[in-house]
Structure 1
Amino acid sequence: MKTHRTIAELLEVIPDAALIMNRSSELVLVNSMLVSMFGYQQRRELIGNKLDILLPAAVHMMHEKHVAAFFSRAENRPMGKGFEFLGRRKDESMIHVEIMLSHVEFDGEPFAIAFVRDSTSNKLTEDKIRRELEQERVLALTDHLTGLANRRAFVEELERDIELLRTQERQFAVCFIDLDDFKIINDTYGHEIGDEVLQQVAHVVKAGCRASDLVARVGGDEFATIHAGATLEDAMHVLERVRKMLVQEFAEHHWPVTLSMGVCHCGDANLSYDVASILRVADKAMYEAKQQGKNQIKIARVSAD
């Protein structure tokens, strides 16, 4: 390039890292900012090398096709238009970079000029914000005392299961669990002990259920479970295990409480299920268990009416 020195001087006054490469992906010129960004000491370490020296090995083959397409289409790509990739530094560490890519012609030959910005800090900030948002979302769906899903999460999962029953005929069961005479714990031992009881109940119910089951605290001393894909027999097997584990837990701590459980099984894809009707049926079954002596499980189904 006859204008090599002039272009090299221009690259040095540009406030971004910059490079020029030919259609064979060979680096023709680089400025000192780019040399420093990628952890090199001298321009000569890069000049004459393929652009691959600045890229992870995994993308070399794909990038070669991109370069060929860039020269054939003669399309420019401005900064901020989503052209981002991982850059490989001399020490093999990776940085996130954003580039502006343009066609230029010197002495009748086509070249590509790229202005490169290190977006690693932006990427880290974005990742941090994403993690914080996800954490906030999880907290919004979590009961602060027990760590179980809260009522909002329970309802959202129930809505999903209703849709899966309608579209894929995947059955499920819902159970309400109410602690009988829990008020005695708070009145006798205080709310701090009451909270410990609720936390232990949550632990026992979670341990007794399947890994795929959702366990939620939906009220003060009310818990609920969703057993996706479960037949009524499957759900009853799990819930009877939970009931026995809780009874044993209450006896070991001499807690003067029992439990009542109401189960609503949903397996008919032709029925028009909704959250309100399922909760109403499970709640009614739970109160029947309470009225008929407590410490038992009652079964109910949504009617076709």
Structure 2
Amino acid sequence: MKTHRTIAELIEVIPDAALILNRNNELVMVNTMLTEMFGYAQRRELLGQPLDILLPEQVRAGHAKHVAAFFNSAQNRPMGRGFKFVGERKDGSTIYVEIMLSHVDFDGEHFAIAFVRDATSLKVTEDKIRRELEHERILAQTDHLTGVANRRAFVAALDDEIHDLRDHGLEFAVCFIDLDDFKKINDTHGHEMGDQVLQQIAHVIESTCRANDLVARIGGDEFATIHVGATLQDAMTALERIRERLVHEFAEHDWPVTLSMGICHCNDPQQHFEVATILRAADKAMYEAKKQGKNQIKIAHVAAV
């Protein structure tokens, strides 16, 4: 019929891949660009086939519902606000595409016309940017020397724990760990050895803690931990285990250092805890440990605000 020829000629000269679909989800027209985009040699390989032939098997059932919904609506989907999905070429390889959908009527019959653009390079670029942003996010929260969390990540995590305590009653403990006489290592063996010692200490602390605990280096030779859901006794047990392992490590390498620790346990949802007050309390307890002979753990008390 004349209308059929006219439409077939039109979609052949447009600068996009195109297809026309009937209500039965069947391809009634495709242009050469679409045929080649999906890896077919002849248009007749696609004509009369269900749209499923262009889709991976795992998405076919769901896609049929979208097609039916489109035919039942009066809304067109312009490029840029259209659909993006994974297509499947004849050889089984995948292609990321974006389509613009419009309703059309030919000789009293209702069809959907889709203009299709290959978005594979765009998808690859988007994925690369997403990975790079995630990598940058991780770097921004990681101590460059030891690989554990940095002070920024520690403060953010502590703020989250305060909210969880207030909203859900989830207790936690915070510990400050300071290396006693660490300067002797730098003075005696050099800063390169000092860096190696800090790396090994971070590894020991992290490997001794539970998977859901946070270990951070908050500056110089100071580390901090957050023990999620821990009672005071749980946290004390964990810290004593850390202290014992590190003291053994120091003795094995003949490193002239010990540990002073301050711990702050937070378990009262009614108390108005703040990041700054918890940090001051843990820091104060840690310095109390230093003043009272070093190589020990002191419990901090946060005054009610």
> Fold match, TM over 0.5?
yes
The answer for the alignment partner of 1:39 in structure 2 is 39
Cα shift readout 1:201-225 (whole Å, capped 9, x = no counterpart): 1111111111111000001000000
User: Offset at 1:158?
Assistant: 0.2
- For 2:84, the aligned partner's letter is E
How far apart in 2 are the matches of 1:165 and 1:242? 25
- For 1:213, the aligned partner's letter is D
The answer for the alignment partner of 1:138 in structure 2 is 138
Mean Cα deviation higher: 74-83 or 237-246: 74-83
Whether the 8 Å CA contact 2:232–2:265 is kept in 1: the answer is yes
- For 2:136, the aligned partner's letter is E
The answer for the alignment partner of 2:123 in structure 1 is 123
Report the TM-score when normalising by structure 2: 0.97
Two-structure CA RMSD over aligned residues (Å): 1.1
User: Offset at 1:82?
Assistant: 4.1
The answer for the alignment partner of 2:102 in structure 1 is 102
The answer for the alignment partner of 1:90 in structure 2 is 90
Whether the 8 Å CA contact 1:2–1:107 is kept in 2: the answer is no
Give the SS at the match of 1:3. helix
How far apart in 2 are the matches of 1:85 and 1:276? 48
Give the SS at the match of 1:289. helix
The answer for the alignment partner of 1:302 in structure 2 is 302
- For 2:252, the aligned partner's letter is E
**Where in structure 2 are the equivalents of 1:24-103 lying within 5 Å?**
24-103=24-103
The answer for the alignment partner of 1:222 in structure 2 is 222
Q: Which runs of 5+ in 1 are unaligned?
A: none
Report how many aligned residue pairs link the two structures. Answer: 305
The answer for the alignment partner of 1:283 in structure 2 is 283
How far apart in 2 are the matches of 1:233 and 1:2? 86
User: Offset at 1:166?
Assistant: 0.3
Whether the 8 Å CA contact 1:32–1:43 is kept in 2: the answer is yes
**Where in structure 2 are the equivalents of 1:197-212 lying within 5 Å?**
197-212=197-212
Q: Work out whether 1:265 is the aligned partner of 2:265.
A: yes
User: Offset at 1:13?
Assistant: 0.9
Whether the 8 Å CA contact 2:82–2:100 is kept in 1: the answer is no
Cα shift readout 1:213-253 (whole Å, capped 9, x = no counterpart): 10000010000000010000110111100000010000011
- For 1:151, the aligned partner's letter is R
Report the TM-score when normalising by structure 1: 0.97
- For 2:188, the aligned partner's letter is T
Q: Which runs of 5+ in 2 are unaligned?
A: none
How far apart in 2 are the matches of 1:103 and 1:209? 60
User: Offset at 1:101?
Assistant: 0.8
Identity %, equivalent residues: 73
